[in-house]
Chains A and B, each alone.
Chain A
Amino acid sequence: MELNEQPFAATLARSLGDVPHVSGLLRRLSQRTGAGDRIADWLFKIAVERGAYHYRREFDPSLPPDSPSISNEETGVALCLGQHTYDLDRLRVAAQLLSSPRVDASHLCRLAVQERCEPVLLHIAHQAERHAPDLHPWAFVRQHLPPRARSPHRHFTSLEQVGKPHRRERAGRSAADRLVVPS
Chain B
Amino acid sequence: MNNPLRILQTLDRHLAAPAQLTLFGRAALALGYPSSPPAFAATHDVDAILPLAWLNAEDQNADFWEAQQRTNAELEPSGLYLTHLFRE
Q: B residues 56-88 with Cβ under 8 Å of A?
A: 65, 68-69, 72, 79, 81, 83-88
Q: For the complex formed, measure the closest distance between the CB of A43 and the CB atoms of chain B, giving whole angstroms.
A: 18
Asked if A25 and B24 make an inter-chain contact with CB atoms under 8 angstroms apart, the answer reads no
The CA-CA distance from A116 to B83 in the complex, in Å, is: 9
- How many chain B residues touch A (CB < 8 A): the figure is 19
- 17 pairs, CB–CB < 8 Å, chain A vs chain B: A4-B52, A6-B87, A19-B86, A21-B83, A22-B50, A22-B87, A23-B83, A24-B85, A25-B83, A28-B65, A110-B79, A114-B81, A114-B83, A114-B84, A152-B26, A153-B24, A153-B25
Q: Which of B45, B65, B79, B81 contacts A27, CB < 8 Å? A: B65
The CA-CA distance from A175 to B65 in the complex, in Å, is: 32
- A→B interface (CB under 8 Å): 4, 6, 19, 21-25, 27-28, 110, 114-116, 151-153, 156
- Which residues of chain B are near A24, meaning CB under 8 Å? 65, 68-69, 72, 83, 85
- Which residues of chain B are near A21, meaning CB under 8 Å? 83-86
- Which residues of chain A are near B26, meaning CB under 8 Å? 152
Q: For the complex formed, measure the closest distance between the CB of A60 and the CB atoms of chain B, giving whole angstroms.
A: 23
The CA-CA distance from A151 to B43 in the complex, in Å, is: 13
